[in-house]
Structure 1
């Protein structure tokens, strides 16, 4: 069974140097991001989670050589519950089940005392 890894878009793949702006994807990829995604896809199913428009993110990734699938909801397309395909990147606005989440704003939970301490140190 293929294991899945989730990757955040802004500040992990996209440099995000100017903040949100109007939702436009304006920066190039962070150094090593595209190579990192490619390496992950050799072993894992990979999905990108983002608060941006998923179709725009998928297009940005496709322009950089990735096959992408957009997680859109509609009468003929219910939202996915899992992602297990290695041949394309899923782009979604949700965090689906995964063995790991790569995100610039994560606090690794070990226990509540540590989590509250760590979140108190966020600037």
Structure 2
């Protein structure tokens, strides 16, 4: 039985893209923290397609493949994590594991796509999130100011963090930067 396709955008999702666009074949930055172990584990459950605006360019696809091979090798050399089933097959060819991913020229049909520059459509075109103003104001995760910590906050309205004492209107608006996973 075929696995469902998981499409991952490259820049800003896998590659940290802190230097910005330098050309289809220039990829200077390190991986987004956690991207490599996530991708390797995902291979056990999905056919993982890596797609980017670089994908239409042969040198761009080649550069992404070379970059990913080096990033995976560096991940393993640094101790990595417990290997997934797919990784176990590839220990002797760390830099060649990029061949386990697909590298389509065009965005593939997928169960889901993970992208840092996308909105999920909720079925309501009148939603303010689709207004020209909101779209122009959109910032990907790595360009937004960090959310403030509200660890230890009580109640649902007018909460304040016991660590940084910043108040937010609702629980949906915060994440604990100093104590990940807590609020």
Structure-1-length-normalised TM-score:
0.75
- What's 2:14 paired with? 13
Aligned mate of 1:100, from 112, 132, 148: 112
* 1:49-93 alpha-carbon deviations (Å, 9 max, x no partner): 012211110111122235234xxxxxxxxxxxxxxxxxx111233
Q: Which runs of 4+ in 1 moved over 4 A?
A: none
Give the 3-state SS of the residue equivalent to 1:47 in structure 2.
strand
Return the index of the structure with the highest Cα Rg.
Answer: 2
* 1:24-54 alpha-carbon deviations (Å, 9 max, x no partner): 1000101000011012111111010012211
Which has more helix, going by share of residues? 2
- What's 1:57 paired with? 64
**Rounded Cα–Cα distance in structure 2 between residues aligned with 1:4 and 1:99:** 6
Is the contact between residue 128 and residue 134 of structure 2 (CA under 8 Å) also seen in structure 1?
A: no
Is the contact between residue 68 and residue 91 of structure 1 (CA under 8 Å) also seen in structure 2?
A: no
Offset at residue 21 of structure 1 (A): 1.8
**In the alignment, is residue 30 of structure 1 matched against residue 42 of structure 2?**
no
**In the alignment, is residue 42 of structure 1 matched against residue 44 of structure 2?**
yes
Which has more strand, going by share of residues? 1
In structure 1, list runs of 5 or more residues that go unmatched.
70-87
Offset at residue 109 of structure 1 (A): 0.8
- What's 2:89 paired with? none
Tell me the matched-pair count.
105
Within a 5 Å distance, the mapping from 1:58-97 to structure 2 comes to 58-63=65-70, 64=72, 65=94, 67-69=97-99, 88-97=100-109
Structure-2-length-normalised TM-score:
0.52
**In the alignment, is residue 117 of structure 1 matched against residue 130 of structure 2?**
yes
**Rounded Cα–Cα distance in structure 1 between residues aligned with 2:105 and 2:5:** 16
Give the 3-state SS of the residue equivalent to 2:16 in structure 1.
coil
